[in-house]
C-alpha cells in the first residue's frame, strides 16, 4: 500500500467540486493516502465536510505554511494563477493542474488556452475526467504534457435511497446555480409547458443562493412571475449535502424525476446522486452526463436547445411504468463504474 500526503486546492467549497473532494478523500484514505483540502474562500459546502483537514485562506503567508507541510503532491483545480503562486511560495514537489467542468465548450477552450503557459511551466501534468469535450480540447492543446484521464468517483452505499413517504403530487427537481450554463431558463420554460399536461406538478429547485449574479437572479424572478409559476415552484437554498438524498428519494417516489438542463457538464454529480436514490433523470446532452446516461436505458435525453422535446420524454418517464422502473434499476447498477476503489487505483498510478 502506498503511503502519501496530498493537497487538493479549489476556489471555494460548493457544488460538484466540493462533492468530488469529499468522495475522493474517502476513496484515497482507504488506500493509506492522507488528503487535505485548501479552499481560497468560504462557501456553503463547508457544512458538509467532516474528518478531512480543511484550510480556508487566500493569504500568501498562510498558504506557504500549509504547502510546506510535507505534501507529496498538490492538485490545483481550475485556478490558473495558483500554479505559479504555489511554486513561488517554495513548493518543489509534484504539482498537477486539474480540470473539472469549466462551463461551456467555448469557455473551457478559452481557459485551457490561457492556462497553457502556466501548466507547461509549473506543473507535472494535467488531470481531467473522462468527458469527450475536455478530452478533445486537452489532447489538442497539451500534446506534450503528461495527461491523466479517468472517471470521478461516487459512493452509492453512502448516498442512497431513503424512504420518506410518497408525496401526493409529482415533483420535477433541478439542481444548480442561477447562471447561464446551468440553463435555468429552459427549466422554467419546461415547467410552464409541462403544467398543461400535469397541472398538479411541483417544481423544486435546489440552488446555492450565495453564488451567482444578482442581475441574473432578478431576471429569474421576473420570468417566474411572467410565466405564472409562483404557486408551482419551490426554491430550496443551500441544503446540506446529506439531506439531498432525502429530497431525491422523495422526487423519485412522487413519480417525478430530475431534469438537468445544463448546456455543458464536465461530470454532473446531481445526476449520479439522483440515480443512486432511485430518482430517474431526464437531461440535455451536456456531454459529461454521457458517462451515466444511455437514452431509455439508464435515463433519458432530450434534444439540446429544444426544451419542447423534453415534454414528450418527460410524459413517457411519468406514465410508462415499465420503462420508468427499468431505467431506475439499470441506472443504479451502472453506478458501480464509479466506485471508490477503481478511482483510488487510478489516482495511485499518478502518484507512482
Contact 344, 32 (CB under 8 A): no
Q: Retrieve residue 191's grid coordinates.
A: 415547467
Q: What is the pLDDT of residue 202?
A: 97
> Which of helix, strand or coil describes residue 267?
coil
Q: Cell triple for residue 311?
A: 415534454
- Looking at the chain, the domain(s) classified CATH 3.40.50.2000 span 4-149, 171-336
Cell of 306: 429544444
102 φψ region: left (φ > 0), alpha (ψ -120 to 50), beta (else):
left
**10-residue stretch averages of pLDDT, the chain, 352 residues long:** 86 86 94 95 86 95 93 93 96 95 82 94 94 90 95 92 93 92 94 96 91 84 95 93 94 97 83 96 87 94 93 97 98 95 94 90
Residue 266: per-residue pLDDT: 67
Three-state DSSP class for 9?
Answer: strand
- pLDDT at res. 2: 59
Class of domain 4-149: alpha beta
User: Is 3.40.50.2000 the CATH classification of the domain at 171-336?
Assistant: yes
CA pair distance 161, 335, nearest whole angstrom = 13
CA 103, 109, 111, 112 torsion: positive or negative? positive
Task: Please say whether the beta carbons of 268 and 227 come within 8 A.
Answer: no
Amino acid at each position: 500500500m502506498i503511503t502519501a500526503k496530498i493537497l487538493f486546492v479549489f476556489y471555494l467549497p460548493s457544488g460538484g467540486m466540493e462533492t468530488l473532494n469529499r468522495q475522493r478523500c474517502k476513496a484515497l484514505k482507504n488506500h493509506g493516502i492522507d488528503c487535505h483540502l485548501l479552499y481560497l474562500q468560504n462557501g456553503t459546502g463547508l457544512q458538509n465536510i467532516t474528518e478531512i483537514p480543511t484550510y480556508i485562506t487566500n493569504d500568501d503567508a498562510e498558504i506557504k505554511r500549509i504547502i510546506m507541510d510535507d505534501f507529496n503532491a498538490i492538485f490545483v483545480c481550475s485556478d490558473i494563477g495558483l500554479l505559479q503562486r504555489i511554486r513561488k511560495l517554495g513548493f518543489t514537489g509534484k504539482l498537477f493542474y486539474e480540470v473539472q467542468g469549466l462551463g461551456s465548450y467555448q469557455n473551457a477552450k478559452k481557459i485551457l488556452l490561457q492556462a497553457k503557459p502556466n501548466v507547461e511551466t509549473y506543473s507535472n501534468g494535467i488531470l481531467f475526467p473522462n468527458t469527450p469535450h475536455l478530452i478533445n480540447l486537452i489532447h489538442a492543446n497539451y500534446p506534450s504534457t503528461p495527461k491523466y484521464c479517468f472517471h470521478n468517483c461516487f459512493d452509492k452505499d453512502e448516498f442512497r435511497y431513503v424512504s420518506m413517504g410518497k408525496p401526493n403530487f409529482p415533483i420535477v427537481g433541478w439542481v444548480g446555480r442561477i447562471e447561464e450554463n446551468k440553463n435555468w431558463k429552459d427549466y422554467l420554460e419546461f415547467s410552464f409547458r409541462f403544467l398543461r399536461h400535469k397541472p398538479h406538478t411541483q417544481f423544486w429547485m435546489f440552488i446555492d443562493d450565495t453564488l451567482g449574479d444578482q442581475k441574473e437572479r432578478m431576471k429569474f424572478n421576473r420570468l417566474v412571475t411572467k410565466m405564472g409559476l409562483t404557486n408551482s415552484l419551490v426554491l430550496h437554498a443551500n441544503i446540506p449535502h446529506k439531506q439531498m438524498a432525502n429530497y431525491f428519494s422523495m422526487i423519485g417516489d412522487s413519480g417525478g424525476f430530475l431534469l438537468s438542463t445544463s448546456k455543458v457538464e464536465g461530470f454532473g454529480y446531481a445526476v449520479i446522486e439522483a440515480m443512486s436514490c432511485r430518482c430517474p433523470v431526464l437531461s440535455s446532452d451536456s456531454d459529461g452526463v454521457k458517462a451515466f446516461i444511455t437514452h431509455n436505458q439508464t435515463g433519458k435525453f432530450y434534444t439540446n436547445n429544444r426544451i419542447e422535446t423534453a415534454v414528450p420524454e418527460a410524459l413517457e418517464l411519468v406514465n410508462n411504468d415499465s420503462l420508468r422502473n427499468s431505467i431506475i434499476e439499470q441506472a443504479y447498477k451502472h453506478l458501480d463504474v464509479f466506485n471508490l476503489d477503481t478511482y483510488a487505483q487510478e489516482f495511485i498510478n499518478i502518484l507512482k
